[in-house]
Chains A and B, each alone.
Chain A
Amino acid sequence: MPVRVQTGDFDIGEEIARLRVGDRGVGAIASFIGTVRDVNDATTITGLTLEHYPGMTEAALDEIVAEARQRFDIRDALVVHRVGALVPGDQIVLVVVTGAHRGAAFDACEFVMDWLKTRAPFWKKERLPDGERWVEARASDDEAAQRW
């Protein structure tokens, strides 16, 4: 299963083992984990709530992975994204890409994250010491996605 949305945590070791098992053609494994910072825009963050759009989220992630498979010579790819209440230090998102060689694996991993940041229906609400605020999208994320 190439994409998952879940409230629980994930273990990168287990996920990589499951993704590569039985594929002796794999010569490179690239991965990315996004985690919750304790500060954003110079403000202390006590936690995050991640919302998504059930029904669309998995389909959007599936499309991103399918696009990565089309653009890069990779063997397989996995995306796990958490939703719900998280605290600083928690893992948010995991991308793993397997390939025969590192170039395509690195590129596909970065591509999946760049597209996920601008196309997958997730929204972060930050908890601050004195309230909450929705995170605003960054122009730099749009620019990163447009490179590809």
Chain B
Amino acid sequence: MPDTSVSAQLRVRVVYLARLRDALGSAGETFALPADDAPTVDSLVAALRGRGGAFATELAPGRAIRFAVNHRVAGRSQSVADGDEVAIFPPVTGG
């Protein structure tokens, strides 16, 4: 039996791209979230924002940011699972 007295965590790989990578000073990191409250892209962003500093500014509500989960475009309500890769990036400007 797993020890249920400790709240389970899931770990996601977070990738920051383009202007966000520059602004946050990081290309990515592994980030742990509580597994018991059905984490979503939005709850991940809220947790990152809670660090303050550039994370609070760049990920503030209303800022134009986009997401991908496991290399597919995702919305804020998409759930995230252990081992997922979540990319956070500005609106794309290719072509």
| Chain A interface (Cβ < 8 Å from any Cβ of B) | 34, 50-53, 55-56, 59-60, 81, 92-93, 113, 116-125, 134-137
Q: Which of B19, B68, B71, B72 contacts A123 (CB 8 A)?
A: B19
Q: Which residues of B contact A122 (CB under 8 A)?
A: 92-95
Number of interface residues, chain B, beta carbon within 8 A: 18
Who on chain A is nearest to B71 by CB?
A56
B94 to A134, Cβ gap below 8 A? no
B38 at the interface (CB under 8 A from A): no
Q: Which of B68, B73, B91 contacts A137 (CB 8 A)?
A: B91
B68 to A118, Cβ gap below 8 A? no
Who on chain A is nearest to B85 by CB?
A55
Q: Map CB proximity to A onto B1-17 as digits: 1 under 8 Å, 0 otherwise.
A: 00000000000000101
Q: Which of A113, A123, A135 contacts B17 (CB 8 A)?
A: A123
B55 at the interface (CB under 8 A from A): no
Indicate whether A121 sits within 8 Å of B17 (C-beta atoms), given known contacts A52-B94, A93-B95, A137-B91.
yes
Q: Which residues of A contact B22 (CB under 8 A)?
A: 134
Q: Which residues of A contact B39 (CB under 8 A)?
A: none
A118 to B90, Cβ gap below 8 A? no
Q: How far is the CA of A124 from the CA of B93 in the complex (A)?
A: 6
B71 to A118, Cβ gap below 8 A? no
Q: How far is the CA of A59 from the CA of B18 in the complex (A)?
A: 19
Indicate whether A117 sits within 8 Å of B92 (C-beta atoms), given known contacts A56-B68, A56-B71, A56-B72.
yes
